Structure 1
């Protein structure tokens, strides 16, 4: 799909689902990384991430178009156009737009964590880097730390 076809698709979607014309410009923007589209408040133009169309297909992309058109039409009619506004949520539900786009980012590998065990209270201690067991002791009982090994699984460090 090229820029002209995108412009035509956005104009047709606006008339079909909102009953209002789209009078501004819709373009592909490859610099968008974490979002499916963007509405510009000052120029009223729409940017779309072409990876959504390439990765997930036309149905998901149509949901993104509807989402951005909700911002567009609500802003031009001086209504609540932000994600938190009731008008936005209601209009998005009526036209069947997508609230969130599927993730484009690749999953990050699990970090390697170094595991120690206190010889006094047997508490397991996870660290991202190795520590000097001659210098550091357990924070709970001041017991000596013993190196257990490296784990490649995700561990919740906060408790």
Structure 2
């Protein structure tokens, strides 16, 4: 999809779902990282994240367009256009827009830890960096430490 196709899609969705014309610019913005789209209060232009379209498909992208058009039309009519406003929530539900876009953030891998074992108290010690067992001892009992596993993927509970 290019800029012209995006502009015509936004204009078509605006007429279909809101009954009002979209008279401003709709563009793709490659700098958007965590959001699906953005409404500019001063210029009334809309920016969209192309990754939403390529990652999640057209139905999710249309939901984002409806969301941004809610901001657009409510702001121009002088009603509550912010996420917290009842007017926004009601109009978004009415047109079937998405409230939140799916996350684009990559899934974090579990960290690798060096696993040490105390010979005296049988305590397991997890460290992100390897250290010399001749220089350090167990913090609980001052016992000798031995490297148990080179690395192990562990998710520690806090």
Give the TM-score taking structure 1 as reference length: 0.82
Q: Rate the CA distance shift 1:74–1:116 in 2: closer, same or farther, 3 A.
A: farther
Corresponding residue for residue 59 of structure 1 = 59
Corresponding residue for residue 16 of structure 1 = 16
Q: Rate the CA distance shift 1:23–1:113 in 2: closer, same or farther, 3 A.
A: same
Residues 29 and 47 in structure 1, CA contact (< 8 A), matched pair in contact too? yes
Stretch deviating more after TM superposition (14-23 or 39-48): 14-23
Residues 5-154 of structure 1 mapped to structure 2, 5 A cutoff: 5-154=5-154
Q: Rate the CA distance shift 1:143–1:41 in 2: closer, same or farther, 3 A.
A: farther
Stretch deviating more after TM superposition (12-21 or 43-52): 12-21
Q: Rate the CA distance shift 1:118–1:152 in 2: closer, same or farther, 3 A.
A: closer
* Alpha-carbon distance between aligned partners in 1 of 2:63 and 2:41, rounded to the nearest angstrom: 20
Aligned residues: 158
Residues 29 and 49 in structure 1, CA contact (< 8 A), matched pair in contact too? yes
Residues 126 and 157 in structure 1, CA contact (< 8 A), matched pair in contact too? no
Residues 63 and 98 in structure 1, CA contact (< 8 A), matched pair in contact too? yes
Structure 1 unaligned runs (5+)?
Answer: none
Stretch deviating more after TM superposition (90-99 or 146-155): 146-155
Structure 2 unaligned runs (5+)?
Answer: none
* Alpha-carbon distance between aligned partners in 2 of 1:148 and 1:32, rounded to the nearest angstrom: 44
Residues 114 and 151 in structure 2, CA contact (< 8 A), matched pair in contact too? yes
CA RMSD of aligned residues (A): 2.3
* Alpha-carbon distance between aligned partners in 2 of 1:5 and 1:46, rounded to the nearest angstrom: 14
